[in-house]
Structure 1
Amino acid sequence: MIPFIDDLSKLIHPTSLPLHLLDNLSKVLYPASIADYVALSILFLAGATYLSRGFLWDKPDPYYHLAFERPQLKHGSGLNSVARETRNIAQKLAESNKNIVVFWGSQSGTAEGFANRLTRDISLRFGSQGALSADLSDFDPSSIAQLPPSTIAIFILSTYGEGDPSDNTAEFWDWMTKANKGETVIDLPNLRYFAFGLGNTNYKFYNRVVDVVVDALNSLGATALLPVARANDAEGTTQEDFIAWRDSLFTLFRTTLGLQESDLHYLPTIAVQEDTSLEPIDLHHGEPDLHVNANRPGYSAVRPLRLIASRPLFHRSSPRHCLHLDLDLSSQPEFTYKTGDHLAIWPSNPDDEVSRLLSLLGLLSSSSTPITIHSIDPSTTKIKIPSPTTPLALLRHYLEICAPLNRDSLHALAQFAPTPSAKHTLHHLATSKSAYASFTSHNHITLARLMLLVCPDQPTWPALPLSYLIESLPPLQPRYYSISSSSVLSPRKLSITVLVASSPIPNSPAQTIEGVVSNYLLAAGESVSPSPSPLPAASASASAHHRPKTKVQYTLSGPGGSLSPSPQTQLLYAHLRKSKFKLPRVSTCPLIMVCAGTGFAPFRAFLAERRQLLQIGREVGEMLLFFGCRTAEEDYIYQEEVEDVQAVLGDRLRVVMAFSREDAMPRRYVQDRIGETGDAVVRLLEEEGANLYICGRAAMAREVEKAVGVEMQRVKGWSEEQVGEWRKGIKRRNKWQEDVWG
């Protein structure tokens, strides 16, 4: 290569060229006129100007970004403010002068709410030093070993699914299990602790998380000051279980630890102030934090999705409502789902409940007045409500104002009662478990409804501050729905199946408890056109005529009108959550699907994919579907679709219905039908290697698991221990999957 370049340089060297060629080159390479000189000068100046950009001119303004900052976020009052804090819990307690820490692991917010309540009660009852509420994900779990002997740790931990810890418990859970196995060498001889678990006996692994943590703590030398306590949501006693445990905790505080208890008086941990200097552009009008899932694997961001169609699924004879909703993903290219995933809907509270509470607080005329919310002690109290905002946005979009109140809340509310009679009534309900149970069996006591019931002649409660509501009411949470469409057949449009909740009060059937999110979706569905129906023309016409009407009114335009960009368009805030509830990769793998009611949603997508595979010439495995509902005439959802799929799949699909309220036949549930078809179930599971899927309520899933175990024992002659080992193995290989809820 180098000799070639040398030779080439000789060829073009001026001395090697003829004179006539040199003359020609000089004419080309040198300016011949004033125009050439001007052109060269312009080119030179343009190049110099471009190269000096950012050095001699157009320097970036170091303060340019300030024009786009919200002033309120500079002081940490917004959701997006970030404070760099220590992850060492011992150091955090020392900095905040606290000697009690309440750790919480929460999936749906219940454990977090209990932790905050307990922290506040400790601070109010046992002195100013008080306690610190600690999200387990905020701290390095190994720093627990550095807690001094004078510190008390309290663990409030939830269990969900198949004995799984909450998302924010993952790091602590890994550390605990490794320490328990001896993979991490650590001792906790100085740790004194209490533990309370939240679980549900409808799930097989009832309160597994708190039990595993307690075993690990004890094996590492920690001292339990009370036996572990457990709440059982299956019996609806979670609140009472917590109150009983907390009372025993406080008794030990007084008798054993020698802490002095004072009278309970409300001391706010947050301050709420009006600020009329703020403009609407400065405020949070109720929009969810769009980046709330930024650090949660498997979750998408929160985005507005367009609701494009809605149709009823129950027949006209049913007094209940169930909806099929279609949502368009085209405007959100980053939204990609897979068959079996979940969609979360972010709702608002119903208008009547919002107006009722604003009126009782005396805030109707000032509902849109800007308010700021900040923590009195930022080191211990985190504000999860965006600030600044308005009372209207606070009650419509940010707080769970429709949730029933527990006895603790009644006790605290009594001090704000406007009349002695109302105060006496609240004290009686708060201190008498039987009186509270009787009262709630006749009344749905949201905060506003309770205030009206105990004091019907008082138009306002002037002593009740907004700070109390923010501290006492849980944040409004999204609700999750199994996606009922196939990502293969419909990648940019997904559907969900929604049962509209409306439950009568046991001893007052004229009153009903309306589900917040399902009725919100019912109202939203009324504003869009019906979705294309797979029904025959006559049935489709009858179904469209029977479109349900909501009894609950919602402001569907969304925060600041953000969900109504144009007429005839309805948007919903939503996000996706990945699921492990998936079809096998091999299409010939047999399937056993067990569901009841809206639990059929993911199986609708499963069957659609299998039908498509068969139609394009792929072989598919045998399928057995157990489907439970009340009656064929009332709530057999997607009946025509099921029959159509069955006609295409032929003998590859067998549908076994379980009707629990048919007049002409005895009640049958899906677990009963499994017992009646046990030979086929065992054959598919053992001989054909089928995957088993269960979707529906946890109580149903538990009974199905029992029924399958009984059939394995009958057909295979196995013992209970052998069935247990088989069940563990099939679940470990991910061939037994459940998508269940409480």
Structure 2
Amino acid sequence: MGDVVSQSSSSLPLVVVATGCLTVALVGALFVVRNEQRKKRAKEMEEGIHANGALKSDTIIDKEKYPGGRISIYYATQTGTAESFAQQLEREGPDHGFYIHVVDIEEAQLDKLKDVSPYGTVDDTDLDGNNNPRAIILASTYGEGEPTDNATAIVNACKEALEDGSGHDLLKGLDYAVFGLGNREYELFNAMGKYFDATFEQLGANRIFMLGLGDDNDDLEADFEKWKDQLWKSLKERYLSSTEQQQALVKARKQQQGRSSIPDCEYAIEWQHTNAKNISTQTTQSLDRVHGSSRHYFTAIDCPVSLVRELRSPKDSGSTVHIELDISQQLDLKYETADNLGVIPCNSPSVVDSVARSLGYDLDAVFSLKAPLSSSNGTTPHEWHGDPFPMPLTVRECLTRYLDLTSAPRRSDLKLLSLYAKDPVDRRALERLSSKEGKQDYKEKITESYVGLVELLKLCPSLEIPLEHLISFCHFMLPRFYTISSCSQVFPDSIHLTVAVTQELRKDGTIFEGVCSTHIAKSGQSQMPLRVFVRPSSFRLPTDATKPILMIGPGTGIAPMRALLQQRRHQQLVEKKAVGSNVLYFGCKRKDQDYLYEDELLRYKDEGILTELHLAFSRQDPSKKVYVQHLLKEQAEATWKLLHDGGAYIYVCGGVKMGHDVTETLKEIVSTQGQMSFEKATSYLSQLSNQGRYVQELWS
């Protein structure tokens, strides 16, 4: 599939708004499985967190330095953005008079949130002002309304507290605010932000600031900045006296005026006097010492690539590859048909060498990270949030596997980077790009030009960044998820992927290459194994094999459909089951260029496995663009019979826009063929989703 895949829930209308309250129905076996995994991981993290240097919730806070006391920031993230925003608040908190305690929401226990004292004293009632515990939730929404992996357990805890009727005062006494991170391309925009905001109120907490909703389809960072600036003002008015507010303002101005030296770092380097060849590739670190969002670095498995095959015609300038991984020797790696495979990419040697040259790093030097003894003023210890990656390791390994050196940095990152520039020209340029006034320049010169850290170091050669500082603020390499395109019963020793290789032409004529898809596509040549892990998917065939299935998967959305067809063929020919009809809608640009798996699909058609094959070629006829939703509409009567009379299951995979168009087309079909209103048709599809009969996995 594409370079990044977002998995949606099998339940379309997860969010229901009623009488001013937002409730979330989290249904299906997949959610239950994930929740049990999250509970186990949360318990492991809870047992180990205090042993590894993290600041405890009862630590006494210096009221003179932090008159506003402690605010706990809980982040729910899938890609690291919410965590990055939490770190921004952590950096800015002292300027406004607050100590900020950042917590992975996976580590939080719902019934303990109100027990975090703002000043760490046994009894805060002797202090002036509002002394309620304070929590800010930064909540990303994953796919179509799902919680992120690290938020699944607490969302389930909220649901249970509301359902058993005992939770209405569970969070009484807690002050809270929520900022949601979402994307308006998805039908359920910012479902999790809305969920936390409404549910905390239902559980008795006191909302102290308006719900913020950020849109990644527009300018998520600008949305957060606007909300954040207003938040600080509100917090100071609520928790600081007028004198303390004035002192905080003076302090902030001084900090801004004098902010020319590099900031304190949460890490310290401990260099190892050993040869790089002596470093083990297998980590023995306990998972209770690991930063929650970094766990995949410790649990992923290296798998050799047995086959890389181009699926597009040489006539097509693009590339989509079929990949086969050999898992025959990996006893701990099991998958189900059409599961998701997380792939941890690597930066190319040329990118790593370029960054090392620019910053003067010795790539063969070996090091570990530890918590610094104190900040530069010798007073406040830094919190240790857990090991970010396996250690010890070489600088080369760190730059190759763990730091994102090619993605466009956020404006807040550029602001931090400016502090490391020795040349005033470089500093001013970075400050301009990071400013509100420089938003258009940032868009044109950074995001639209695909400029990452590796290019910035060339454009601003005076940047001098110590390794521990680079690790501290550089975004970590994220796994990319691809829907597995093979059936585990047919290929128990192999995992197949269908990957579109990302290549974009920059304005200067150079080519930007997607770090993960390129890494995968070149894995056959490099003989380098892929580091992977399996995550459950929402694609599952009906337990009753006689039920028909309707599959809609244009482009690399064909991946799970290929896997499902393999399984249906296995059911029919090997298990000798009676199997219902299989209908597929596939789309691409041209029949002779990017018709993926054409031979396989035609063979399934000839064998009778594929009952109907509908093909949409969007560029075949220049005068008429044809997409899968157009063909679906042409088959309105047959589609309605499959759904209403045959009890068909629908599977959709592809881009968000396509998914939206397919949903609207299905609503129209249900409305016209079923002779019901559009509202009732929408409800009909919602019921199919809740029954697991309408499943979508979409990406933006």
TM-score, with length taken from structure 1:
0.76
Of 546, 570, 593 in structure 2, the residue corresponding to residue 634 of structure 1 is 593
Instruction: Report the counterpart of residue 391 of structure 1 in structure 2.
Output: 395
Q: Distance in 1 between matches of 2:689 and 2:517?
A: 32
Instruction: Report the counterpart of residue 144 of structure 1 in structure 2.
Output: 113
Q: Deviations 1:185-218 (Å, cap 9, x if unpaired)? A: 4254432222111112222221111111111222
| Distance of aligned partners of 1:597 and 1:668 in 2 relative to their CA distance in 1, 3 Å threshold | same
Question: 1 or 2 for the larger relative contact order (CA 8 Å, sep ≥6)?
Answer: 2
Which stretch shifts more, 248-257 or 188-197? 248-257
Q: Deviations 1:568-615 (Å, cap 9, x if unpaired)? A: x54222111122311112222101101111110111122223234444
| Distance of aligned partners of 1:294 and 1:424 in 2 relative to their CA distance in 1, 3 Å threshold | closer
Q: What amino acid maps onto 1:411 in structure 2?
A: K
Matches within 5 A, 1:677-696: 677-696=635-654
Does the CA-based 8 Å contact 1:93-1:132 persist in structure 2?
no
Which stretch shifts more, 336-345 or 110-119? 110-119
Q: Distance in 1 between matches of 2:283 and 2:407?
A: 20
2:616 partner SS: strand
| Distance of aligned partners of 1:96 and 1:469 in 2 relative to their CA distance in 1, 3 Å threshold | farther
Of 440, 452, 456 in structure 2, the residue corresponding to residue 450 of structure 1 is 456
Q: Distance in 1 between matches of 2:455 and 2:583?
A: 48
Q: Distance in 2 between matches of 1:441 and 1:575?
A: 30
Deviation at 1:163, TM superposition (A): 1.3
Q: Distance in 1 between matches of 2:513 and 2:572?
A: 43
Instruction: Report the counterpart of residue 544 of structure 1 in structure 2.
Output: none
Deviation at 1:312, TM superposition (A): 0.4
1:410 partner SS: helix
| Distance of aligned partners of 1:318 and 1:231 in 2 relative to their CA distance in 1, 3 Å threshold | same
| Distance of aligned partners of 1:337 and 1:249 in 2 relative to their CA distance in 1, 3 Å threshold | same
Of 304, 308, 311 in structure 2, the residue corresponding to residue 310 of structure 1 is 308
Q: Distance in 2 between matches of 1:390 and 1:287?
A: 14
Q: What amino acid maps onto 1:622 in structure 2?
A: S
Deviation at 1:631, TM superposition (A): 1.1
Q: What amino acid maps onto 1:231 in structure 2?
A: G
Does the CA-based 8 Å contact 1:179-1:216 persist in structure 2?
no
Deviation at 1:378, TM superposition (A): 5.5
Does the CA-based 8 Å contact 1:119-1:130 persist in structure 2?
yes
Q: Deviations 1:271-328 (Å, cap 9, x if unpaired)? A: 43352534547757697989699999x9994222121111100001110111111111
Instruction: Report the counterpart of residue 417 of structure 2 in structure 1.
Output: 413
Q: Deviations 1:611-657 (Å, cap 9, x if unpaired)? A: 3444455432112211111111111100111111101117x611111
Deviation at 1:380, TM superposition (A): 5.2
Does the CA-based 8 Å contact 1:484-1:603 persist in structure 2?
yes
Q: Distance in 2 between matches of 1:719 and 1:327?
A: 48
Does the CA-based 8 Å contact 1:375-1:383 persist in structure 2?
no
Matches within 5 A, 1:212-291: 212-235=195-218, 237-253=219-235, 257=240, 258=245, 259-260=248-249, 261-262=252-253, 263-264=255-256, 265=259, 266-273=262-269, 275-280=271-276, 283=279
Q: Distance in 2 between matches of 1:167 and 1:106?
A: 8
Q: Distance in 2 between matches of 1:284 and 1:461?
A: 32
Deviation at 1:357, TM superposition (A): 1.2
| Distance of aligned partners of 1:375 and 1:96 in 2 relative to their CA distance in 1, 3 Å threshold | farther
Of 151, 167, 180 in structure 2, the residue corresponding to residue 184 of structure 1 is 167
Q: Distance in 2 between matches of 1:430 and 1:84?
A: 34
Deviation at 1:523, TM superposition (A): 1.2
| Distance of aligned partners of 1:320 and 1:726 in 2 relative to their CA distance in 1, 3 Å threshold | same
Q: Distance in 2 between matches of 1:254 and 1:512?
A: 48
* Identical columns (%): 25
Does the CA-based 8 Å contact 1:628-1:658 persist in structure 2?
yes
| Distance of aligned partners of 1:335 and 1:171 in 2 relative to their CA distance in 1, 3 Å threshold | closer
Does the CA-based 8 Å contact 1:482-1:601 persist in structure 2?
yes
Q: Distance in 1 between matches of 2:594 and 2:154?
A: 44
Which stretch shifts more, 403-412 or 287-296? 287-296
| Distance of aligned partners of 1:143 and 1:447 in 2 relative to their CA distance in 1, 3 Å threshold | same
TM-score, with length taken from structure 2:
0.80
Q: Distance in 2 between matches of 1:380 and 1:320?
A: 45
Deviation at 1:248, TM superposition (A): 2.5
Deviation at 1:490, TM superposition (A): 1.4
Matches within 5 A, 1:451-530: 451-453=457-459, 455=460, 458=461, 461-462=463-464, 464-505=465-506, 508=507, 510-527=509-526
Instruction: Report the counterpart of residue 22 of structure 2 in structure 1.
Output: none
Which stretch shifts more, 262-271 or 511-520? 262-271
Q: Deviations 1:395-436 (Å, cap 9, x if unpaired)? A: 111111112111111112112112111111111111121222
Does the CA-based 8 Å contact 2:366-2:392 persist in structure 1?
yes
Of 564, 569, 576 in structure 1, the residue corresponding to residue 534 of structure 2 is 576
Instruction: Report the counterpart of residue 588 of structure 1 in structure 2.
Output: 546
Instruction: Report the counterpart of residue 200 of structure 1 in structure 2.
Output: 183
Instruction: Report the counterpart of residue 104 of structure 2 in structure 1.
Output: 135
2:209 partner SS: coil
Of 110, 126, 135 in structure 1, the residue corresponding to residue 96 of structure 2 is 126
Does the CA-based 8 Å contact 1:101-1:154 persist in structure 2?
yes
Instruction: Report the counterpart of residue 687 of structure 2 in structure 1.
Output: 729
Matched, 1:439 2:440: no
Instruction: Report the counterpart of residue 676 of structure 2 in structure 1.
Output: 718
Deviation at 1:345, TM superposition (A): 1.6
* Consecutive unaligned residues in structure 1, runs of 5 or more: 1-78, 528-568
Q: Distance in 2 between matches of 1:286 and 1:349?
A: 20
Deviation at 1:99, TM superposition (A): 0.6
Deviation at 1:736, TM superposition (A): 1.0
Deviation at 1:85, TM superposition (A): 2.7
Instruction: Report the counterpart of residue 646 of structure 1 in structure 2.
Output: 605
Q: Distance in 2 between matches of 1:640 and 1:120?
A: 56
| Distance of aligned partners of 1:205 and 1:170 in 2 relative to their CA distance in 1, 3 Å threshold | same
Deviation at 1:721, TM superposition (A): 2.6
* Consecutive unaligned residues in structure 2, runs of 5 or more: 1-43, 63-68, 118-129, 373-380
Q: Distance in 2 between matches of 1:647 and 1:409?
A: 56
Matched, 1:740 2:683: no
| Distance of aligned partners of 1:233 and 1:84 in 2 relative to their CA distance in 1, 3 Å threshold | closer
Does the CA-based 8 Å contact 2:552-2:584 persist in structure 1?
yes
Matches within 5 A, 1:72-111: 83=48, 85=50, 92-94=57-59, 99-111=70-82
Over the aligned positions, Cα root-mean-square deviation in angstroms equals 3.1
Instruction: Report the counterpart of residue 10 of structure 2 in structure 1.
Output: none
Of 552, 567, 592 in structure 2, the residue corresponding to residue 609 of structure 1 is 567
Q: Distance in 1 between matches of 2:517 and 2:342?
A: 12
| Distance of aligned partners of 1:274 and 1:214 in 2 relative to their CA distance in 1, 3 Å threshold | closer
Deviation at 1:478, TM superposition (A): 1.7
| Distance of aligned partners of 1:487 and 1:286 in 2 relative to their CA distance in 1, 3 Å threshold | closer
Matches within 5 A, 1:658-669: 658-669=616-627
Q: What amino acid maps onto 2:433 in structure 1?
A: L
Deviation at 1:682, TM superposition (A): 0.8
Q: Distance in 1 between matches of 2:537 and 2:159?
A: 24
| Distance of aligned partners of 1:155 and 1:423 in 2 relative to their CA distance in 1, 3 Å threshold | same
Q: Distance in 1 between matches of 2:440 and 2:517?
A: 31
Deviation at 1:270, TM superposition (A): 2.3
Does the CA-based 8 Å contact 1:284-1:386 persist in structure 2?
no
2:59 partner SS: helix
Q: Distance in 2 between matches of 1:423 and 1:157?
A: 33
